[in-house]
Amino acid sequence: MKKPVQTKKETDTDFLARMMQSGFLGLEERLGGKIEKLDSRMGNMETKMDGMEARMDGMESRMEGMEARMDGMESKMGSVEIRMGNLELRSFTEGEKDEILAMVRHYDQRLESETLGKDFITLTREEYNIFVKIAGIPNRFEEADKEYA
């Protein structure tokens, strides 16, 4: 076997080290300012990210507080519903409920027979008072009574 032929160049390790060092120094000169700016921007981004994280933590704690309040409101609503049911059960006896329903049916039938197919309706003074109170309009009878009093 033949030995490989070596060319005689002045390339020893010291020479290669100096070449690499000069290349890195040139690169450092060209990129040095840009790297510092990049470092500064990264620092600003980290600061902003920390601020955002703190705000998100605050929002999370506020949301947890709202959830706790909503849970409390749900339990209160449940107790209000129970109380309303108890009030409804105790407010009228079955006989009184039947009487009220019969009275409502009587008025409903009377109004239907008096108004069906007609362009006007007639209300009693009591019915008119109830209507204006519910509708939130001024009661003309009360105003007339004040004028003539």
Taking 50 as the threshold, does the pLDDT of residue 83 lie above it? yes
C-alpha 147/C-alpha 13 separation (Å) is: 119
Predicted pLDDT of residue 144: 63
Q: Measuring CA to CA, which residue among 146, 108, 149 is closest to residue 127? A: 108
- State the average pLDDT for the chain: 78
Predicted pLDDT of residue 8: 46
Could you tell me the pLDDT band of residue 138, with boundaries at 50, 70 and 90? Answer: confident
Tell me the mean pLDDT in the region 123-127.
84
Angle subtended by helix axes 140-148 and 125-135, to nearest 10: 110
C-alpha 29/C-alpha 37 separation (Å) is: 14
C-alpha 129/C-alpha 140 separation (Å) is: 9
Predicted pLDDT of residue 11: 60
| pLDDT digit string, tens, across residues 1-42 | 555 544 445 567 778 788 788 877 777 677 767 777 778 888
| Cα-to-chain-centroid distance, residue 26 | 57
Tokens, residue 83: 């109380």
Please spell the DSSP secondary structure of 33-95, one letter per residue.
HHHHHHHHHHHHHHHHHHHHHHHHHHHHHHHHHHHHHHHHHHHHHHHHHHHHHHHHHHHS-HH
Q: Where are the domains of the chain?
A: 17-91, 93-149
State pTM to two decimals.
0.30
Predicted pLDDT of residue 68: 83
- More confident: 130 or 81: 130
